[in-house]
């Protein structure tokens, strides 16, 4: 019996040591100051600041309560500990059961505290909802309207540059808002409404002007996703057939990372989003470039051979605009009954995005493959701390000039290179790096038949898309 008691006490001591070790490791990890792209405690916009104003006091209250509860438990455990040889199961500490004062106290205090927190939470939710819904449709109160489209496993951003709005009234109430649901018998689904010549569509990277409110209308092409850039605002679901309004303002130039926060299939954990806030004059320069079409490489060049390969191997999913917007039903809305999409699927096929990233200006983007890889070696936004007075980190200073770093012969560009090796691996066998279901036309398939020369030609062509 003594041996059993000794083993019991030893087991408890080992569990206590393991628990304290784990707690210490978590505490040290929380103190780390690097690699925190999703830090909710560093708001950079008014919506994120509203959330921070609510959550920070709650964290302090919860922290104090946690310290008191855990500390009290540790004190009681130490005060009442006994040696194995002195252990007696009948020798219990003083019990407080049946003390009405204590029981009422520890029941009423948390209830009052939670009730008080709930009042401030509800008020904050109402304020956020009002601030985020300027009318529930494009052409709201912001200075730029963007449609955010989630799909497995990347994001598309459509810019309403001319300010005429993308949507038609769906429910007859005068404007399409977040309560509208798509009925194909009543109206066009907004994703099929044509982009004007002045509007643009980009993938993976949302570029915005710093200091200006951006009105977002969020939806999905396939399953439910959720759009979340914590330093700018909270999360907002992207739901097929529904339009959800959202907005944010990046008060300073910088890079703001986000993540899909709604499980959406195999690569949910790798469905990232990048937002680049540029000074307004640089943003105007970026917009002007994005509105241009791709140049056709000179005949006989390596890039021309890559363009031919692209048309054979890639153009069934991806698009490169060479003669202006409106080349494809995906963007024009000119779909006839019985038409199929670019990948040969009927338009009513469920749970499929029917789209792949627009690559017209691929070389101008700092990320690729659904924002999981940098397009340029050495371009890691997470290494930049915008809260230490570095309002324009290296990647921002160089952002508009990214295509110039493709020329690897320039000795002055040692720290930043075209990410050729990773790009080759991605084109050759994307599913080995990001879980996808290419047989179901969800995600990018592998191309085992492409030779090294083929890959070099393709990459040479992609390098011209600037």
Strand 417-418 to 376-377 pairing: antiparallel
| Number of domains observed in the structure of the chain | 3
Report the CATH number at residue 253: 2.60.40.420
249 and 348 in one domain? yes
pTM: 0.77
325 and 179 in one domain? yes
Query: What's the whole-number average pLDDT of the chain?
Result: 74
Residue 269 CA to chain centroid, in angstroms? 10
> Of 331, 359, 385, which Cα lies nearest the Cα of 461?
359
DSSP strands (E only) in 282-414: 367-368, 373-374, 376-377
167 and 234 in one domain? yes
Domain span at residue 394? 138-466
Residue 61 CA to chain centroid, in angstroms? 30
142 and 79 in one domain? no
pLDDT surpasses 90 at 51: no
423 and 286 in one domain? yes
Q: Place 354 in a pLDDT band, splitting at 50, 70 and 90.
A: low
For residues 253-271, give the mean pLDDT: 88
Burial class (CB in 10 A: 0-12, 13-18, 19+), 431: middle
72 and 13 in one domain? no
Which of 132, 163, 198 is the endpoint of a domain? 132
Report the CATH number at residue 127: 1.10.287.90
458 and 310 in one domain? yes
| Residue 118 to residue 30: CA distance in whole angstroms | 27
114 and 193 in one domain? no
Per the listing, tokens 């930049």 go with: 384
Structure confidence at residue 413 (pLDDT):
46
Strand partners, 154: 151
Contacts of 169 (CB under 8 A, 6+ apart): 175, 176, 187
378 and 458 in one domain? yes
321 and 372 in one domain? yes
Taken in order 352, 354, 356, 358, the sign of the CA dihedral is negative
Which of 97, 132, 167 is the endpoint of a domain? 132
115 and 199 in one domain? no
Which of 132, 166, 185 is the endpoint of a domain? 132
Burial class (CB in 10 A: 0-12, 13-18, 19+), 392: middle
- Other CB atoms within 10 A of residue 233 CB: 27
**Alpha carbons within 13 A on the beta-carbon side of 86:** 5
| Residue 270 to residue 331: CA distance in whole angstroms | 26
Burial class (CB in 10 A: 0-12, 13-18, 19+), 266: middle
Q: Place 208 in a pLDDT band, splitting at 50, 70 and 90.
A: very high
Structure confidence at residue 405 (pLDDT):
67
For residues 334-342, give the mean pLDDT: 46
153 and 113 in one domain? no
């Amino acid at each position: 019996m003594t041996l059993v008691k000794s083993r019991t006490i030893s087991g408890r001591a080992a569990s206590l040591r393991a628990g304290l070790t784990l707690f210490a490791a978590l505490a040290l990890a929380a103190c780390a100051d690097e690699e925190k792209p999703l830090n909710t405690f560093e708001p950079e916009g008014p919506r994120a600041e509203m959330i921070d104003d609510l959550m920070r006091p709650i964290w302090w209250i919860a922290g104090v309560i946690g310290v008191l509860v855990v500390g009290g438990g540790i004190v009681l455990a130490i005060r009442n500990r006994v040696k194995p040889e002195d252990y007696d199961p009948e020798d219990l500490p003083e019990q407080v059961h049946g003390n009405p004062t204590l029981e009422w106290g520890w029941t009423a205090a948390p209830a009052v505290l939670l009730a008080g927190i709930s009042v401030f939470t509800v008020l904050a939710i109402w304020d956020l909802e009002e601030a985020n819904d300027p009318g529930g449709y494009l052409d709201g109160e912001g200075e730029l309207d963007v449609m955010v489209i989630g799909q497995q496993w990347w994001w598309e951003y459509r810019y309403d540059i001319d300010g005429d709005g993308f949507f038609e009234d769906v429910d007859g109430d005068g404007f399409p808002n977040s309560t509208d649901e798509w009925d194909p018998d009543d109206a066009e689904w907004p994703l099929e409404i044509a982009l004007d010549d002045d509007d643009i569509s980009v993938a993976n990277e949302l570029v915005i002007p710093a200091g200006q409110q951006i009105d977002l209308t969020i939806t999905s092409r396939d399953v439910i996703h959720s759009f979340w850039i914590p330093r700018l605002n909270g999360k907002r679901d992207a739901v097929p057939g529904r339009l959800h309004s959202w907005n944010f303002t990046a008060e300073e130039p910088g890079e703001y990372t986000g993540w899909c926060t709604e499980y959406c299939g195999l690569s949910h954990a790798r469905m990232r989003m990048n937002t680049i806030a540029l000074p307004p004059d640089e943003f105007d320069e970026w917009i002007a470039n994005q509105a241009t079409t791709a140049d056709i490489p000179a005949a006989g060049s390596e890039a021309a051979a890559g363009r031919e390969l692209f048309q054979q191997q890639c153009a069934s999913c991806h698009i490169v605009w060479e003669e202006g917007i409106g080349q494809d039903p995906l963007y024009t809305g000119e779909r006839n009954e019985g038409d199929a999409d670019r990948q040969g699927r009927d338009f009513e096929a469920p749970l499929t995005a029917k789209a792949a990233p627009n690559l017209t200006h691929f070389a101008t983007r700092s990320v690729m493959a659904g924002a999981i890889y940098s397009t340029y070696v050495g371009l890691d936004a997470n290494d930049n701390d915008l809260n230490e007075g570095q309002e324009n980190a290296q990647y921002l200073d160089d952002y508009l000039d990214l295509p110039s770093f493709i020329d690897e012969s320039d000795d002055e560009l040692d720290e930043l290179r075209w990410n050729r090796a990773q790009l080759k691996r991605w084109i050759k066998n994307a599913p080995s790096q990001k879980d996808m279901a290419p047989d179901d036309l969800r995600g990018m398939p592998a191309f085992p038949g492409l030779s090294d020369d083929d890959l070099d030609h393709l990459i040479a062509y992609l390098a011209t898309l600037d």
